[in-house]
Amino acid sequence: MRYTLDVQYRGKYYAGSQIQFKNGKHIEEPTIQGELEKALSTLIIGGKSANHKQNRQVKTIFSGRTDKGVNALGQVVHFDTDKEIVASSFIYHINEILPSDISVNNLRVVPNSFHAQKSAKARYYRYELINRPYKQAFDGDILRVKYELDVERMQTALNFLLGEHDFSSFKSSGTLNPSKVCFITRAEVEKQGDRVFIHIEGNRFLYNMVRTIVGTLLEIEGHKLPVEYMKEVLEAHDRRKAGQTVSPYGLTLMEVKY
């Protein structure tokens, strides 16, 4: 039987969402997947079996990888088990086991043909930053931009990204999939007080793509470049043309659509 979970997490203290391997060996760093599989195995198989029989652990598939420091409000995960699960008690007990910065919010039975990653039609990310010249005690790790941002100019620049394009200019090295073409259906910016939110939705994303788009927006604003520079970067298919890859701490996977 196949189940899906809606998962939320804060990524600050994890080496990304996925279990890490190097030269075929598991890297002993905490990950969201590692913590979730450990909790699932404890609940479904039993603590002793989960700890001592690795081949019997419950395995999970995520809708997509998020990097170290990236958060999620709407990550979707599927797993298989031959045991029937009661959603209400399961959600309570797994949240008691999971660390305080990871939670499961929903459990559903799905057809075996469903795949958390391959069945996804769109993913929606939000990047949050602070726009004020001075720090405040509760800013946390959110990126702070000291100069005033013009959200109208930023929106005009983002509009060039809508539609289907080769986003090679906005990917970091490490992208495993050779295809660099993505279809962006939403690219919006809004300001609420001293907080700026950048919303980007598309069928797929390249490695560090959203953070590099934000970095390019900030370069355009910081150096007062024409907004058409975003189009120039996009069409160059050259990472050297784009801005820096900004901090991961303001980035959140908001929703996966099927």
Catalytic annotation, residues: 67
Q: Are 99 and 233 in contact (CB under 8 A)?
A: no
> Taking Cα atoms as reference points, which of 93, 37, 91 lies closest to residue 62?
37
Reduced to 3 states (helix: H, G, I; strand: E, B; else coil), residue 41 is helix
DSSP string of 87-113, one letter each residue: HHHHHHHHHHHS-TTEEEEEEEEE-TT
Q: Give the 3-state secondary structure of residue 29.
A: coil
Q: Quote the CA–CA distance of 50 and 57 in Å, as a whole number.
A: 6
Residue owning tokens 């939670």: 103
Name the amino acid, one letter, at 250: G
First to last CA, the chain: 19
